[in-house]
Structure 1
Amino acid sequence: MPRTAKAGRKPVITVARSEHDRLLVFANTIAAQNPDSSEELLAELERARVVNDDRVPDDVVRMGSSVKFEPDTGETRTVTLVYPGEADISVGKVSVLTPIGTALLGLAPGQSIGWTARDGRRHELHILSVDAPPAESQQQGSGEAA
């Protein structure tokens, strides 16, 4: 079965159990001050296929993964998916709470997903490659916002 989404449907995503649990707590914690981001992240976590950490393929976007993708603008980008406290767009670290960060979570090469920017415009991106996160980043990431 191909990994790309059929028109109008979001692709299947895979999330490690430990990250799912941590992100679920985090999304619920920030719901009062950031309801839109919380709601989007919770929706993605709800539809995710949750697997044991050691069963997540290396080419699936996890926290700390480096992701090369092509947005609908056509210029290839590479970012690292991080928790908000680690985000720094100037060095390519994108928070999982941003619309694009939430959209990237759990995807693999060959998959595409549509997402809505904070200004309300719809976009699409296509995953080209994923580099697994360093082992230490999978254990260090905290849900703390800076």
Structure 2
Amino acid sequence: MTAQKTRLPAIQIGDDDFRALEALTGSVSGPLAAAAERLLTELERARRKPQHQIPATVVSMGDRITFDRNGVETTGTLVLPHEADISAGRLSVLTPVGAALIGLSLGQSIAYRTPGGDSHTLTVQAIDRS
């Protein structure tokens, strides 16, 4: 029996977000290096567009997102690592959840693994771009 490969959802990212996140991934070392590598993988597979052409139904940096993760609803704002504060609902793009969210469209789902090897699936339920 062969393992079936899960197809990743199509994602898109604005040029401004792409440039900022690509620079971020190149400047990270130490314990965050693996997270930066996961983010870079997502950036490389994303369809790039001018930032103003990214619809409000696609997760971008600074958006407030409500998502379901394994049956638990969570709301948070996607931010750069230095702005992250989980108690204030600011989710770093360098976390497994943050890297999974960037570029997803409303209603899309993605499976991902934590550094400890746990599998999770999240689905975007709402996006607020204020």
What is the aligned partner in structure 1 of residue 24 from structure 2?
26
Q: 1:113 aligns with which of 88, 96, 110?
A: 110
Q: CA deviation at 1:20?
A: 0.1
1:70 lines up with 2:68 in the alignment: yes
Note the alpha carbon deviations across 1:9-36, whole angstroms, 9 max, x for none: 1101111001101110110111x32320
**Structure 1: where are the runs of 5+ without partners?**
1-6, 135-146
Which has more strand, going by share of residues?
A: 2
Q: 1:124 aligns with which of 117, 121, 125?
A: 121
Contact 1:11 1:112 in 2 (8 A): yes
Letter in 2 for 1:64: G
Contact 1:60 1:106 in 2 (8 A): yes
**Structure 2: where are the runs of 5+ without partners?**
none
What is the aligned partner in structure 1 of residue 58 from structure 2?
60
What is the aligned partner in structure 2 of residue 35 from structure 1?
33
What is the aligned partner in structure 2 of residue 88 from structure 1?
85
CA RMSD across the alignment: 1.1
- Once residues 118 and 44 of structure 2 are traced to their aligned partners in structure 1, the CA distance between those partners, rounded to angstroms, is 24
Contact 1:87 1:95 in 2 (8 A): yes
Q: How many pairs align?
A: 125
- Once residues 85 and 112 of structure 1 are traced to their aligned partners in structure 2, the CA distance between those partners, rounded to angstroms, is 27
- TM-score using structure 1 length: 0.82
What is the aligned partner in structure 2 of residue 15 from structure 1?
13
Q: CA deviation at 1:75?
A: 1.9
- Once residues 89 and 98 of structure 1 are traced to their aligned partners in structure 2, the CA distance between those partners, rounded to angstroms, is 11
The percent identity for this pair of structures is 39
Note the alpha carbon deviations across 1:18-72, whole angstroms, 9 max, x for none: 1101110110111x32320111011000000100011000111111101111111
- TM-score using structure 2 length: 0.92
